[in-house]
Structure 1
């Protein structure tokens, strides 16, 4: 789930501002209109991704043995509404959420996963899971906003939340359908160049268009895993697309599609209308995590090397969620998170927010010099133009899906 997925409110805002977008895009790093909370990770405006990026940062820290700062955890807990849901960001959490609060399933599910991983927050995660159950659709899945049509990304991230909270996703049903039933409806059949991929949502005519971001998310979700994925020993043999009557086969089919998508250039791309395709760093990291979780990590070796060589400038610009994505992908694959292309990803993530309570000492590296938090490599610069354009593309066609993650994505 990519790091710049934004809330439904963000998409609506893009559609409304229309011609005003260029004025907004003049600043490559939008500044918050108010002072940032002391416990929050990242320095850009958290309006659309505060809970998402905080959750990913805490998940990544926990996964590599870092104990987050208590105030960072307290900030996330304090974002919850009384009904159990989370909005992308509440500037004044002292005031109760009202009917206008833009709560969503992705922020809520990400927060559940982070707080469940840290432990000691059963009451908070329990209320959040109860709210997620009320937002489940009749097809067994979830949309971004409660009541919205189900999509592969949202359904997958909620599966991860249910599993993290000790639930059995297959038994969380609505209308006799489970979230796995919903994921299968987004799976493309075998045959053709997009065989085995997942769509974000069906288009208006019920057709399915392959979406790499949705595929990576759905592979992990269909296997019952969350945003941290799982490090599974590679099977040693490539998967082949076969008719999927169960989520496990659908996940294997999705992994086969991702392997083909990465084969040529070792990275995924995204193209805005009328523009040349650009490397998609976040989706590539998500694909690595998905392949590792599906037991196909050996098929992701080229993508890992590509990320090591190219993703540094992107992560520096995009912030904590980007570093978290790289950490989780590297960890699932088995790469050194403290020496990833010469960068200590953990140290760089920790530098974007409050000092952790404790941090595990890095293992001995291969001797390459790690970059500092002021890493100044040149390369692709993540700009607001790119973010706004991606969000506009999502707003134009549901079939295109959330091309940029997260996933908060994003």
Structure 2
């Protein structure tokens, strides 16, 4: 069974948490005591229905305010697939949380209230989804029960969103009318909308094709750990553990190790369950090479004629996540794949208005939740690809060296 990660996004009160609660409830993925707890809480609050949003809004402040603040992760499975859900906040001031939740997602589900249609937040979330290169986007038009299951409302929102999405790089779009509260088109097809002939949301999530989203062309294996057993019978064993970030690797393949550029050949690929004939993203494996080489954490195994850019000068889009603004001249720690270095902010080319998609040049700082084009100089070279080509080798985080807090998430646009 493969694993699908999906993130939900939308404005406040669009029903994201209710939708996830409905998915969990209708797919029988919650325990009886959980159900009894939310039924009791719903009764205590005077609700006339069981508030399924309480399944994900776990923080007390979230329950009291009726909003989602933190990214809530939930796990469930159906006979076809395993799922990890990231329920991300809708508020503008939690853009950084949305970026965090969507950065590893295969599918993003953007909710729209059928009564309100597309609002500024809907466009902002769709833009962030395209910026983060989430391969599949679902526009879930929620609360269809409140517009009398109207096909005209659905068609109008559908057309408006398709026109907006044409400006973005969205490769796969599905538009599904749902009622999270009533359960229509969430897990089972709705009898109230016979005019809609597409799949339910669950059916779409179970069947969306994600295998081809992985980069199986560019071999990238960042070394995470060097394995040298201390037992005498294994005194000559040297394995390199890590997660395949791209491509397909097989024993006998000719490879080079960066940044040294030394050539070798894969002797074997191993896991705790035994040897493999091939490995591909996102598998975690141990690679053994035929040659004894000086390789350490942060090095990368790749093909001789298909290598990442080795550079200390990085152009990137950065989402700033700290209350203290990003300034030109600032020094930060940078974490890229398994490699760590220090970085100097050389230039801030523009800040991107995520509502209008306009670029604002001439800015000297980036504030909390703002996104901008930044040029960095690192103390040691990064082994990088463009983010559009590989989300693993094209993404990085920036860390404040004094507080050790993550203060920025970056997507590499280019390196030279």
Q: TM-score by structure 2 length?
A: 0.24
RCO comparison, higher one (Cα < 8 Å, 6+):
1
Task: Say which structure is richer in helix.
Answer: 1
Q: TM-score by structure 1 length?
A: 0.24
Task: Say which structure is richer in strand.
Answer: 2
* Larger of the two Rg values belongs to structure: 2
